[in-house]
Structure 1
Amino acid sequence: MSDSLREQLLKAGLVDEKKLRQSRQAGNKHKGGRKRDTGRRAPGADKAREQQAQRSRELNRKQQEAARRKALAAEIGQIVREHRLSRDDADQAYHFPHGDRIRSVHVTAEQRDGLARGRLGVVTFAGGYELLPQQALEKVRERDADRVVVFNEPHHENDTPPAEDDPYAGYEVPDDLMW
């Protein structure tokens, strides 16, 4: 039983010496690994290779875009966590439009004033809303403007004179007006 299969087949008379040599040569050809490029290609092989390269480029572009979005989201999250204002003592509801609905956050009187004067703003974060100071709000706006929900442009009381044809110019807006 120590004989190889080839030798056993030869002794049994099932193969001859010539066939045995041919099978050895055929086996050695496949052991070489890669086939030699004879210069002949199947029709459509170049087209298929180009389509595969195009798919690879598109997949790579999508992965890079996803990584960029993820990095931006991480930056925004860090900004919001560092600069958000506490609303623990909030006792007033501040209403604002977001999309096609009216939303609200609870704020203090000082925070309400800051929102009205443009010193504070509201951003979306982790499925909710957070209050941020103007500088942090600008950083978030640079990275993703869609996250900024409320930001009243800062204005100064006596910078612009009232328009001459404004019918409500003589009326003063009360300080305690709640919207």
Structure 2
Amino acid sequence: MSGSLRDQLLKQGLVNKKQVQQAQKADKRKARDNRKSEKVGEEVAVDEARLQAQQAREQKKLRDREANLKREEQRKEKELVAQVKQIIERNAIQPAGEIDYNFVVAGKIKKIGVDAMQQKALSGGRLAIVELADRFVLIPVGAADKIAQRLPETILSQSDNNQEEPDPDDPYADFQIPDDLMW
């Protein structure tokens, strides 16, 4: 109740002083409760804003971490490619000869001209074939092993010298397949 209305009701005798005081206390209590609820509402809004800001920071850290991992992975990949290229350049043997040596790359038959000694080395697993600057070159098996540790898909052709034990039930075990078979 407002002050003038209370005075009028008190003069007319509709309310007594005790009721007016109780009404004033109730008004003060309501006002205080309203202020508290506004403060609580503001605190809740501030807490929510802090929480959202913290979540945004955590998400940004996560995205940054993922981006850093991706950049690191790309850097390592470039480093491996550079190492492989350097190994190939240092150990490259240019194929020279009239004998066609056939090998398969991505499901297609490719051929390279080699001499008899290179052909025996390729068949025996002492040389491997790799591609360098859109041409095929030969490299020794030691260099091929180093490359296989880094990027095995770089080696296009390498004979496996390791003979597996033949199956005792194999009816063709007595017939050996020559390594230098021409096709």
Q: TM-score range by the shorter chain?
A: 0.5 to 0.7
2:62 partner letter: Q
Q: Which runs of 5+ in 2 are unaligned?
A: 1-45
Deviation at residue 165 of structure 1 after TM alignment = 4.7
Kept in 2: contact 1:163–1:169 (CA 8 A): no
| Alpha-carbon offset, residue 174 of structure 1 | 9.6
Larger helix share, 1 or 2: 2
Verify: 1:141 aligned to 2:148, yes or no: yes
Match of residue 36 from structure 1: none
1:161 Cα offset (Å):
8.4
Equivalent residues of 1:92, 1:107 under 8 A apart: yes
Q: Does 1:123 align with 2:127?
A: no
For residues 109 and 139 of structure 2, the distance between their equivalents in structure 1, rounded to whole angstroms, comes to 20
Q: Which moves more between the two structures, 118-127 or 139-148? A: 118-127
Q: Secondary structure at the match of 1:71?
A: helix
CA 1:59 to 1:162, structure 2 compared with 1: closer, same or farther past 3 Å? closer
Larger Rg over CA atoms: 2
Q: Does 1:91 align with 2:98?
A: yes
What's the secondary structure of 1:131's corresponding residue? strand
TM-fit CA distance, 1:83: 0.4
Q: CA deviation at 1:143?
A: 0.8
Q: 1:56 to 1:129 in 2, by over 3 A?
A: same
SS at match of 2:104: strand
Change in CA separation of 1:56 and 1:162 when aligned onto 2, cut-off 3 Å: closer
Tell me the equivalent position of 1:169: 174
Q: 8 Å contact 2:166–2:173 — kept in the other structure?
A: no
Query: What secondary structure, in the 3-state scheme, does the structure 1 residue paired with 2:55 have?
Result: helix
- Structure 1, unaligned stretches of length 5 or more? 1-39
State the match for 1:111 in structure 2: 118
Seen in structure 2, the aligned counterparts of structure 1 residues 173 and 163 have a Cα distance that, compared at 3 Å, is farther
Deviation at 1:142, TM superposition (A): 0.8
C-alpha separation in 2, matches of 1:152 and 1:174: 9
Q: Aligned with 2:57: secondary structure?
A: helix
